[in-house]
Amino acid sequence: MPVIMWFRQDLRLTDNPALTVAADKGEVLPVYIRDPGEAIGSASKWWLHHSLTALAGDLGHLVLRSGDPAEILAALCAETGADSVVWNRCYDPYSIARDTALKADLKDRGISAQSYNAALLAEPWEVETKSGTPFKVYSPFWRALSAREMPEPLPRPTLSTIDAPSETLADWDLRPSQPNWAVDFQDLWTPGESGAWSKLESFLESGLAGYAALRNRPDLPNVSRLSPHLHFGEISPRQIWARTRAENTPQRKHADKFLAEIGWREFSHHLLYHFPTLPTENWKPAFNGYPWRDDHADLDAWQKGQTGYPIVDAGMRELWSTGYMHNRVRMVVGSFLIKHLRLHWKHGLAWFHDTLLDADAANNSASWQWVAGCGADAAPYFRIFNPMTQGEKFDPDGAYVRKWCPELSRLPNKVLHAPFNAPAHVLAEAGVVLGETYPKPIVDHATARAAALAGYEEIKIAS
Ligand code: FAD
């Protein structure tokens, strides 16, 4: 009897435990279900379209259906005679609730349902403190997890597939059209399993050397840009672990640091699994009374990259154009939104969810709470990034700001990260008219910093 392989965030053929089990059992019906209950951001929809195209190409065919997964899977079993369904687990609260109910429902109908781990180095419940509780601090979590023996990635199984009537990707209308704001994405990204491997190989060849320090430089190509591939499961952390560890030893320090970042992804999933309110509630309730502002004009300026702070604006424009933003700049723009503008981190979370190609419930919510200082093992709440010094330190030649804020490109390095402090003749020589060609700062750094700290004073957070 055929087995239904329900693809979700595991859009690959290699190291895919559920697919391997299905292939071992017999003929496989591969299906992807568009579940209306899943909140997928606009940029992620673009990725999904292309990733499903790639997967269908690798498989030969992929059945697409939209609607309630329980009903669709039961209907597919009836249509094909299948009596078992397999999938790989997701760890966000919506998926856990849906899958738990669905598993029971399928079993009631006499259909076997089995799930596997394809997304993490270890299941969130497999790593625990000595007292048997979830970790709340990254370093001991990563020490415990990275000391475990890592399972070898699985090879691509030999598949014999069957087909069933399918919707088409064109029906799903996942790509933007009017306007097509994703126009630049296709030159930058290759969604799909082979695109993921090309990214990993080119990173190991030319990005890994120096990663430990250079990963903080948004002007340099020293990060992997694997995050959307990881989110959609086109490559697994087990594969990244095994391939990186096989790399030559001179890069060991950098390889360790790179894998430790994969460790932050694991930690975020661990947190989301154990604390499912992470996307919606302050992890530390002491922050609940913070005097947030509600200012649509400031939020709009932040989203559009029009704050008057070049490193912030460059980051927000990079995000809009490419669906990606460098991690260092994510921290700076996040701090600016939360602390300089005193707008709730949920606004940042929502904008990132919609515009990032790697938007991920675990990484996004854990990271926003980290920046806000209200999360587990978070940045100190009183650390307020100075956007001028962050720019000078991490974009020292100004290449990143010049790329994304071309209207500032003729400014000398000395004033590039703080044009509002530049002498009038320097601005004039560079063709910059503040308030016309580039915005004046929407807030004064020192005043905003003092107001943010006063807010923390008000709610009496113990430091
Ligand atoms: P690399 O430096 O090459 O790292 C390799 C992999 O490690 C990444 O692909 C990612 O899977 C993981 N990783 C690296 N840094 C982190 C981190 N701090 N937390 C968790 N995992 C990490 N990452 C997402 O994947 N999705 C999100 O929605 C997301 N939202 C974020 C929001 C904010 C406010 C901040 C500060 C960070 C966010 N991150 C998110 C984490 C991080 O910025 C990205 O994972 C990273 O920039 C991706 O680029 P890369 O693949 O080149 O990273």
From the CA of 359, give the closest atom in ligand 1: 28
345 given a catalytic annotation: yes
Element (H, E) at 403: helix 399-404
| Residues 381, 66: Cα–Cα separation, whole Å | 43
User: Hey, which of 142, 220, 265 would you mutate to test ligand 1's pocket, going by the most ligand atoms within 8 Å of its Cβ?
Assistant: 265
Residue 248 has pLDDT above 70, yes or no: no
Confidence of residue 27 (pLDDT cuts 50, 70, 90): very high
Surface-to-core class of residue 260, CB atoms within 10 Å of its CB (0-12 exposed, 13-18 middle, 19+ buried):
middle
Say how many CA atoms lie within 13 Å of 224 toward its Cβ: 26
Q: Does residue 157 have a pLDDT over 90?
A: yes
Check if the beta carbon of residue 266 is closer than 8 Å to that of residue 121.
Answer: yes
Who contacts 333 (Cβ-Cβ below 8 Å, separation ≥6)?
A: 302, 312, 315, 316, 325, 348
pLDDT at 463 over 60: no
Question: CB atoms < 10 A from the CB of 253, how many?
Answer: 13
Ligand 1: does its nearest atom lie under 6 Å from the Cβ of 356? yes
Q: What is the pLDDT of residue 300?
A: 98
> In angstroms, what is the span from residue 267 Cα to ligand 1's centroid?
12
Of the pLDDT bands very low, low, confident and very high (cuts 50, 70, 90), residue 247 is confident
Confidence grade of residue 462 (pLDDT, cut at 50, 70, 90): low
pLDDT in tens, 201-233: 999 999 999 999 999 999 999 999 999 999 999
Interval 106-145: pLDDT, tens = 999 999 999 999 999 999 999 999 999 999 999 999 999 9
- Distance from the CA of 227 to the center of ligand 1, in angstroms? 6
Beta bridge partners of 113: 85
Q: What is the dihedral of CA 151, 153, 155, 160, to 10 degrees?
A: 80
Q: How confident is the model at residue 460 (pLDDT cuts 50, 70, 90)?
A: confident
Give 228 Cα–ligand 1 centroid separation in angstroms. 9
Helix (H/G/I), strand (E/B), else coil: 369: helix
Task: Catalogue the long-range contacts made by 124-129 (C-beta closer than 8 Å, 24 or more residues apart).
Answer: 124/91, 124/269, 124/270, 124/273, 124/274, 125/273, 127/270
Active site residue 283: no
Q: Could you tell me if the CB of 212 is within 6 A of ligand 1?
A: no
Beta bridge partner(s), residue 293: 343
Summarize pLDDT for 409-455 with one digit per residue, the tens. Answer: 999 999 999 999 999 999 999 999 999 999 999 999 999 999 999 99
Instruction: Report which protein residue has its CA nearest ligand 1's atom 31.
Output: 364
Please compute the mean of the pLDDT values over residues 187-212 and round it to a whole number. 96
Told to judge if 264 belongs to the known catalytic residues of this protein, a careful annotator would answer yes
Q: Is the CB of 208 under 6 A from ligand 1?
A: no
Q: Which two tokens stand for residue 378?
A: 């978070």
Q: Could you read off the pLDDT of 383-397 as tens digits, one per residue? A: 899 999 999 999 999
3-state secondary structure of 6: strand
The three-state secondary structure class of 29 is strand
Q: How far is the CA of 363 from the centre of ligand 1 (A)?
A: 7
Distance CA 380, CA 339 (A): 12
Nearest CA to ligand 1 atom 33: 367
**Is position 327 annotated as part of the catalytic site?**
yes
CB under 8 Å to 424, separation ≥6 — which residues?
Answer: none
Q: Across the beta sheet with 63-66, what order do the strands follow?
A: 63-66, 28-34, 3-7, 84-88, 112-116
Catalytic-labelled residue, pool 345, 351, 370, 404: 345
Cβ contact 163:155 at 8 Å: no
CA distance 351 to 63: 31
Cα 319 to averaged position of ligand 1 atoms, centre (Å): 13
Residue 343 phi/psi, 5-degree rounding, is: -100, 145
C-alpha span between 190 and 226 (Å, rounded): 11
Q: What percent of the chain has pLDDT over 70?
A: 99
Would the CB of 334 count as within 6 Å of ligand 1?
A: yes
Residues in contact with 108: Cβ distance below 8 Å, sequence separation at least 6, in sequence order: none
**Mean pLDDT score across all residues of the chain:** 96
Is 23:158 a contact under the CB 8 Å cutoff? yes
**Pocket of ligand 1 contains residue 351 by CB under 6 Å:** no
Q: What is the pLDDT of residues 255-269, one digit of tens each?
A: 999 999 999 999 999
